Amino acid sequence: MKRILSVLLALVMLVSISAIAVAEDPSTLSAPPAKEGETVVQFWCIMWETWNQNWLKTQAYNWNSNPDRPFYVDLALMDGDTFNTRIAAARAGDGTPDIICADYASVANNYRNGYTLDLKELIPQSAWDDLLDSAKEFITVGDAYAAYPWMMEPAVVMYYDKDAFTEVGLDPESPPTTWEELVEYSKMLTTPDRFGMDIDNTYNMWSWTYTANGDYMLTNDWTQANINSQGMKDFAALYRDIRSGVFASQTALKGQNVGVYAVLEERSAISFSGSWGVGAINNDYPEKIDRIGVAAAPTQDGEPFHATSGGWSFCVDAHAQHPQEAADYIYYMLGESAENVADFFVAASFAKFTTRKSVAEYLVANTDASKDERVQIIQSDIMPYVVAEPTYPWEVTAYVGNMLDSIALDGTEIDEAFANTEALINQYIADQGLAGANPKAK
Amino acid sequence: MLRQTAGSTRRIKRNRLPTAKMDYITAYCMIIPPLIVLGIFVFWPLYESLTKSLTDWNFYNTTYVGLKNYRVALRNPTFRRAFGNIVKYVLISVPIGIVLPFLFAHCVRHMRGLYADISKTALYIPSIISGVIASVIFLFIFDFQGGLLNNTIRTLGGTKYNFMAHGTSAMLCIIFTAFWSGFGHSTLYMLAGLNNIPDAYYEAAALDGCGGFRRMIFITVPCMRNIFLLSLVNGIRGTLMMMELPMLMTNGGPNNATITPVLYIYKMFSDSAVSMGYVLACSVMMMVFSVSFTAISFFLIKPDKSME
């Protein structure tokens, strides 16, 4: 009997593993392989949502299916940690791919380190002229265009449960616009099983601190810390109140910048997440589409909130074997046909935003982009005020985050915490030789 | 060599080497392949790491900076805090990871039949679960809002507590998760060691009037010295290399209270703004620290042959 059970268990495991191995991938199954002697462009990209992967695979499939293609594209998708490790190993062994993806915070550092090429002369001028000014700003390093931008997504959008608002007598169409309202509403919305609000202190914090401080955490020339403003201290006091545990959890309810799920799971009535949260609602909780409202995050005085604009771009590696071909493929994917690129944003449920003027016009004229109220709110209330992600080392951000935690959770006095952190950051600048090293300093 | 035959002694010329020399040659031939593998995957990378750590290396450009990376790392408060945390992790988790499995192995040793099989299987299952899954399980258990532990506390009339919001409790949660994962493995080592002690020792001690406790102190513990050393070294090594539990459970927070050196190095590695030379310097220092810790363990518990 034992033997029969063991054999059955082994068979089940074998079948399940085999099923994963032969799972169908319709966009690549029938794409022809590279011809002998054909130029192959290696393209490495991070693996995101399934619909995102499918769009990339479809681009490669369509290109490779053309019998008159000038070269073959070999697309490799991998998760973020694997991507970082493989790229490091590839750079160390001088075996880098031709095309890599890069977030906007890395674009400038990659170019400064000599990892990527200037694409200005490799991609037609029309593609550059079509870019939105903000998008062009994200990929410009000095006089160079270090990448071609793919999409933008503000890192902080407020998501709130309209039913919870109605439940406690708040107007579901009037979310909080100031910190005072945020705290007041959150207290009203808190129940034994639900917090009024939730916030995390990772990438989210770039936006909150920039808005409170009016600037980044380092001066533009990276010579010293830039945190000692009244706005930042007021934000630290707010953060302390939030982390008191009365109307918000002392630790983030969900992982890094996916706070929208705290609202979707009804663990919190208000939370903050990137604009990709709209896609999460449409794909994972379609029954709650009408229930979840979106708005810009509140500020101290009701002025516009400055979310950092996350997003991704594609670069050509400095040691690429086929740099012009790589640039040609990037142009084909992102810079040429507006309709081709628009498909991506339709698949994203308009949760991500285009970097090109012609694509924006195409989406408004030919898709339901203009009919999605949430997208319109993000487009009108958040996108005009987005700022670039900071390019200084993550440790500077960590010092600020730890400072806020020490004030909120350890009871450190605000002035003392700010003085200590300013000294730490200045010491870090001196140790790492950051002064004057800002690749985007004007 | 002289061979004595009837009536005479002749010197026999041998073409073969003496046996001892043959053994040496055989032994060296057998260790050459693993040495080559070690050379390629351990010694050469170690040499490259040491040399690159003295530079401002970013894969494509190299600028010699001497010991600057080491000085910067030693001045870095986060890196220093990580070392302080890992010492705490080791001092708390390693003794617990030896004593409790040892005591539990005693209990399991005398079990027979189905209960023994079920117990051994149940205690070993956590060892085959990856750290990532263990993190997720215990994050659910320790969760403030809907976690199993807080719900139990509330049911019993207590007040909920946010374990991950406070440095000490967050660290203890991580230690408990690590202990749970490695408990089965350690217990089986102890069980194997206990089963290897001849019963004759205990019988003789019992005849001499030794109680259970004295038998454990004067027979069991000395006979288990090598097993204790094995558990100690494995426990220290595993704890020093801990990364996935603090990364997934607390991301090193709150306020760096649970960050470990390996987690810090990983974060620096992922940051495109940080020089690889600095990351390598941190890694070399971590290696020196680990080797020192292990060497001290060997010095304190001198491995010995069995009492037999």
| Structure confidence at residue A297 (pLDDT) | 96
- Segment B228-242 shows an average pLDDT of 91
Cα separations in angstroms, A212 against A305, A306, A406, B242: 9, 9, 18, 36
Work out whether the CA dihedral B39, B42, B46, B48 comes out positive or negative: positive
Q: Which of A160, A170, A165 is nearest to A198 (CA)?
A: A160
| Structure confidence at residue A280 (pLDDT) | 87
The alpha-carbon gap from A109 to the nearest alpha carbon of chain B, in Å, equals 6
Q: Do B165 and A250 touch (CB under 8 A)?
A: yes
* B276 shares contact with chain A (CB less than 8 Å): yes
| Structure confidence at residue B308 (pLDDT) | 43
Cβ atoms of residues B232 and B299 within 8 Å: no
Cα separations in angstroms, A392 against A110, A225, B16, B275: 12, 11, 70, 12
Q: Is the pLDDT of residue B136 over 60?
A: yes
Q: Which of residues 269-308 of A touch B (CB under 8 A)?
A: none
Cβ atoms of residues A315 and A117 within 8 Å: yes
**What are the boundaries of each domain within chain B?**
78-300
- Segment B165-191 shows an average pLDDT of 93
Direct distance between the N- and C-terminal alpha carbons of chain B, in angstroms, rounded to an integer: 37
Q: Which of residues 367-396 of A touch B (CB under 8 A)?
A: 391-395
**CA-to-CA distance for B166 and B255, rounded, in angstroms?**
9
Which amino acid belongs to residue B267? K
Q: Which of A112, A251, A257 to mutate to test the interface with B (most CBs of B within 10 A)?
A: A251
When the candidates are 3.30.365.10, 3.40.190.10, 3.20.20.70, 3.40.50.300, the CATH number that belongs to A157-308+392-432 is 3.40.190.10
**CA-to-CA distance for A148 and A153, rounded, in angstroms?**
15
* B33 shares contact with chain A (CB less than 8 Å): no
Q: Is the pLDDT of residue B6 over 50?
A: no
CATH number of A38-154+310-387: 3.40.190.10
pLDDT in tens, B258-299: 999 999 999 999 887 888 999 999 999 999 999 998 888 878
| Structure confidence at residue B282 (pLDDT) | 95
Least CB-CB distance to B273: which of A109, A398, A409? Answer: A109
- Segment B164-191 shows an average pLDDT of 93
| Structure confidence at residue A24 (pLDDT) | 47
- Segment B222-241 shows an average pLDDT of 90
Burial class (CB in 10 A: 0-12, 13-18, 19+), B215: middle
Least CB-CB distance to A431: which of B75, B165, B254? Answer: B75
Taking residue B186's Cβ as centre, other Cβ atoms within 10 Å add up to 26
Cβ atoms of residues B140 and B57 within 8 Å: no
As a whole-number percent, the residues of chain B with pLDDT over 90 amount to 53
Question: Quick check: helix, strand or coil at residue A103?
Answer: strand
Q: Do A410 and B255 touch (CB under 8 A)?
A: yes
Cβ atoms of residues A275 and A309 within 8 Å: no
* A90 shares contact with chain B (CB less than 8 Å): no
Long-range contacts of range A64-72, CB-CB < 8 Å, 24 or more positions apart?
Answer: A64/A31, A64/A32, A65/A31, A65/A32, A70/A39, A70/A325, A70/A328, A71/A38, A71/A39, A71/A40, A71/A41, A71/A322, A71/A325, A71/A328, A71/A329, A72/A33, A72/A34, A72/A35, A72/A38, A72/A39, A72/A40, A72/A41
Give the distance between the most distant pair of CA atoms in chain B: 102
* A250 shares contact with chain B (CB less than 8 Å): yes
Domain span(s) for CATH 3.40.190.10 in chain A: 38-154+310-387, 157-308+392-432
**CA-to-CA distance for A292 and A155, rounded, in angstroms?**
18
Work out whether the CA dihedral B59, B64, B66, B69 comes out positive or negative: negative
Residue identified by tokens 């320790």 is: B142
* A84 shares contact with chain B (CB less than 8 Å): yes
**More confident site: B134 or A16:** B134
Q: What is the token pair recorded at B57? A: 């290396």
| Region of residue A433 (left: phi > 0; alpha: psi -120 to 50; beta: else) | left
Which amino acid belongs to residue B175? I
ipTM: 0.84
For domain B78-300, the CATH architecture is Orthogonal Bundle (1.10)
Q: Is the pLDDT of residue B10 over 60?
A: no
Q: What is the token pair recorded at B285? A: 């220092």
Least CB-CB distance to B164: which of A202, A251, A402? Answer: A251
pLDDT in tens, A1-27: 778 877 887 888 787 666 655 554 544
The alpha-carbon gap from B201 to the nearest alpha carbon of chain A, in Å, equals 38
Which amino acid belongs to residue A296? A
Pairing of strands A40-46, A99-103: parallel
**CA-to-CA distance for A260 and A158, rounded, in angstroms?**
8
Q: Do A250 and B162 touch (CB under 8 A)?
A: yes
Q: Which of A276, A329, A328, A311 is nearest to A107 (CA)?
A: A311
| Structure confidence at residue B305 (pLDDT) | 52
- Give me the residues paired with residue A195 across strands: A268
Q: Is the pLDDT of residue B114 over 90?
A: no
The alpha-carbon gap from A301 to the nearest alpha carbon of chain B, in Å, equals 29
Q: Which of A394, A420, A421, A424 to mutate to test the interface with B (most CBs of B within 10 A)?
A: A394
Q: Please state which of the ranges A39-48, B41-50, B100-109 shows the lowest mean pLDDT.
A: B100-109
Least CB-CB distance to B165: which of A251, A391, A432? Answer: A251
What is the 8-class DSSP label of residue A379?
I
Question: Quick check: helix, strand or coil at residue A218?
Answer: strand
* B145 shares contact with chain A (CB less than 8 Å): yes
The residues of chain A scoring below 70 in pLDDT are: 16-31, 442
Q: Do A202 and B251 touch (CB under 8 A)?
A: yes
Which residues of chain A have a CB within 8 Å of the CB of B162?
Answer: 245, 249-251
**CA-to-CA distance for A435 and A309, rounded, in angstroms?**
25
Q: Is the pLDDT of residue B303 over 80?
A: no
The angle formed by the CA atoms of residues A201, A203 and A205, to the nearest 5 degrees, is 50
Nearest chain A residue (CA) to B79: A395
**CA-to-CA distance for A395 and B275, rounded, in angstroms?**
13
